[in-house]
Amino acid sequence: MTMDYEDLDRRARDILRGNDRGGYTLPTDGLYPYQWNWDSAFAAWGFAEFDLARAWTELETLFSGQWPNGMVPHILFHRPNAGYFPGPDVWGAEGIGPILSSGISQPPVAATFVRAIFEKDRTLGEPHARALFPKLVAWHRWFRDWRTEAGAVVVTHPWEAGRDNAPDWDGAMAAIDPVGVGEYKRRDTSHVDPAMRPTKYDYDRYIWLVQLGRRLRWDEAAMRTENPFRVADPAMTFILMRANRDLAILGRALGEDVGEIETWIGELEAGAAGLWNEEIGAYDSFDTRARKFSGCVTCASFLNWYGGVDDERMLSQIERVWSAKRYAVPSLDPGHPQFNSKRYWRGPVWAVFNTLIGLGLESCGRRDHAARLRETTRALIGEHGFAEYFDPIDGSPAGGGTFTWTAAVWLAWASPSARGA
């Protein structure tokens, strides 16, 4: 099939503009009607391909929601929307941050994109980068202080990982008895097919964890003691490692002291090494409460290159996983009994994960692998549109449509016109 790349570029720009709510971009209208943390960082990177000023605004709006303790929330509820559950009334975090928000964070990809956008035009970018730098440092310090165990980054809710329904969390979720969660009405299943979404079993536990945080007024010290869910995640660990590397480079360019950031990188490298699960021969999530690996090779396992860890052992793993199905990289190993090509984070391909894995392969000099992954992603989006995610068997689009981050990574990485990082 010959593709009209110019038309695809145009459609991607239209999606970003269409989801723009003035200063921030929705992941997609309907299903996700607010500003999401890492979606927004990807959106900024996409905007930077055609509107640098708008790219900076996106990041500045995201950081305008930063909490006094440094945390940058996973959702900013700028304007009420009855079509979304759980909204600000359920999170109960009013008064803590400057904007109504959730009480957890999300993968810290922002520093990497701040650096990339700064590199595109240093003169224009300098005041923006200078203002954002201390905010990024404060956020990363929050991760260091409240979200690391033995050097690896832990998540306190599956939503914090950005891979909501991944099998990585099954053990820790099973240990929760969602007693007293009460009645609630989900909204996600009225926007997309319930077969693609998490089950009621999972959702009860998601809400139970939100209620726990709310009861503790999102106090990190109390949560560290009381939250049964603390799972170390290779994706979060490698993403923060990369973010710190980029933040240190940015800081040096701005003449800032980056000694503290360099210490964090070393700690994260040690933490990531501890996530190597010998039994499956891959980086794996580790439940720090039950002291158990999840036993799953997932798309998170392949972020070692993105973190800057060029691990030979992962090359044969990625080759095995991506040749098992037509489209790489499935979010779960197709050989795993839980693999489901349509269900959220249990099989489908996310273009954003491909992008992060591809950027990593590129920066570690694994050019052939990176090029192959980029071509697959290009074909997937080119043939099947800007969906939230895709079936790895036939490429069919799934979840929400006209998705911001898919359009953004198209523009910045997958399109032939992309100038990227």
Sites of contact with ligand GLC (CB under 6 A): 27, 32, 36, 38-39, 162, 164
Nearer to ligand GLC, 159 or 276 (CB): 159
Q: What share of residues in the chain are helix, strand, coil (percent, to 5)?
A: 50, 10, 40
The Cα 160–Cα 146 span in angstroms is 13
The Cα 33–Cα 278 span in angstroms is 41
Shortest spacing between CB 265 and ligand GLC, in angstroms:
25
Concerning whether 126 is annotated as a catalytic residue, the answer is: no
Shortest spacing between CB 31 and ligand GLC, in angstroms:
8
Q: Tell which residue, 111, 206, 224, has the closest CA to residue 165.
A: 206
Nearer to ligand GLC, 242 or 366 (CB): 242
Nearer to ligand GLC, 248 or 412 (CB): 412
Nearer to ligand GLC, 137 or 239 (CB): 239
* Contacts (Cβ under 8 Å, ≥6 apart) of 183: none
Shortest spacing between CB 106 and ligand GLC, in angstroms:
6
Q: Tell which residue, 240, 222, 311, has the closest CA to residue 38.
A: 240
Quote the longest CA-to-CA distance of the chain.
Answer: 57
Concerning whether 164 is annotated as a catalytic residue, the answer is: yes
Shortest spacing between CB 308 and ligand GLC, in angstroms:
23
Nearer to ligand GLC, 41 or 297 (CB): 41
| DSSP secondary structure code for residue 147 in this structure | S
* Contacts (Cβ under 8 Å, ≥6 apart) of 129: 114, 115, 118, 250, 254
Shortest spacing between CB 402 and ligand GLC, in angstroms:
12
Estimate the crossing angle of helix 122-146 against helix 52-63, to 10 degrees: 30
* Residue 141 burial (C-beta neighbours within 10 Å; 0-12, 13-18, 19+): middle
Nearer to ligand GLC, 24 or 38 (CB): 38
Q: Among residues 49, 160, 287, 388, which one is catalytic?
A: 388
Nearer to ligand GLC, 55 or 235 (CB): 235
Q: Among residues 9, 20, 39, 164, which one is catalytic?
A: 164
The Cα 84–Cα 242 span in angstroms is 32
Degrees, nearest 5: CA angle 295-207-336: 20
Q: For residues 276, 280, 286 and 290, what is the CA-based torsion angle, rounded to 10 degrees?
A: -130
Shortest spacing between CB 171 and ligand GLC, in angstroms:
19
Please give the structure tokens belonging to residue 289: 């409460």
For residue 155, cis peptide bond before it (omega within 30 degrees of 0): no
Shortest spacing between CB 154 and ligand GLC, in angstroms:
17
Asked if residue 239 lies in contact with residue 268, where contact means CB atoms within 8 angstroms, the answer is no
- List active site positions: 164, 388
